[in-house]
Structure 1
Amino acid sequence: MNSIFLLIEDNTIDQVVTAQLLRKMIGATQIFVVKNGIEAIEWLKKCRDQFCQPLVILLDVRMPEMNGFEFLDAYDELPNEMRKETSIYMLSSTLDPGDIQKAKQNKHVAEIFSKPFPVQKFKDLL
């Protein structure tokens, strides 16, 4: 797996489990973890240009400070150069029909998954 992964997740257990699944099931070697959308935007501004590989973002829906949808709004404002070769997959433990619809309508979201992270289904998509 040649991609870089950015996991945007506030729950520590979900962070550890998802990172382990990415390593074991997909062979991911570069996994960065941030706790909310604010930290993710800061990471993108600071670090994205350091990598030429594709970026896969796993984005939690419900987080404090800046939730997944607020992140997507801020992400949309970033320069195109920071958003190139990036795929965003949303993760939600509460698959609210409104959240599903909102995610599916967002041009940046490739797919929305329910938690726990369905790594095999995700691997098949890659």
Structure 2
Amino acid sequence: MNKLPTVLLVDDDQTTNYLNHLLLTRLGVADHILVAHDGREALDLLATRCAPSAAQCPCLLLLDVNMPGMNGIQFLEAYRQLPLPTEPAPVIMMLTTSLHPRDVQRVQQLGTVAGFVSKPLTAAKVHAILAEHF
């Protein structure tokens, strides 16, 4: 499999970001791994990285559901409003420790998420995401 150009990790937990970054680096899945600590920071990164002149839009987003400030669902609501290139659309995977049925229903209504992955992220889960979506 070819390396992905850019992956964006969105999680408020620094340890989780560190471990996920380390895992993706060891697996060699991406040329660039970006990290955002909440939904607002992720939106700002996307607005900068996905601008036509930048052309470094992440092709995979690993998004935590529960974060202070702007959580994953609020991020998705705002993300849908961004004037980003639609092709190729980034694959967005929700990372979570537990799934509340209300959250799953809301995410499905938004229709922008490729799936859910339970934490912790593992090599097997990363390979499954890559095999299915890339």
Q: Please indicate, yes or no, whether the TM-score normalized by the shorter chain is above 0.5.
A: yes
* Partner in structure 2 of residue 28 of structure 1: 30
In structure 1, list runs of 5 or more residues that go unmatched. none
Kindly indicate whether the alpha-carbon contact (under 8 Å) linking 2:93 and 2:116 is maintained by their aligned counterparts in 1: yes
TM value normalised by structure 1: 0.87
* Partner in structure 1 of residue 87 of structure 2: 84
Distance in 1, Cα, partners of 2:84 & 2:29: 28
Greater RCO, CA 8 A, separation 6+ = 1
Paired letter, 1:84: E
TM value normalised by structure 2: 0.82
Alignment root-mean-square deviation, CA? 1.9
Kindly indicate whether the alpha-carbon contact (under 8 Å) linking 2:4 and 2:59 is maintained by their aligned counterparts in 1: no
In structure 2, list runs of 5 or more residues that go unmatched. none
- The aligned runs of 1:1-126 (5 Å cut-off) are 1-49=3-51, 50-52=54-56, 55-81=59-85, 83-85=86-88, 86-126=90-130
Q: Which structure shows the bigger proportion of residues in helix conformation?
A: 1
Distance 1:116 1:41, change over 3 A: same
Aligned residues: 125
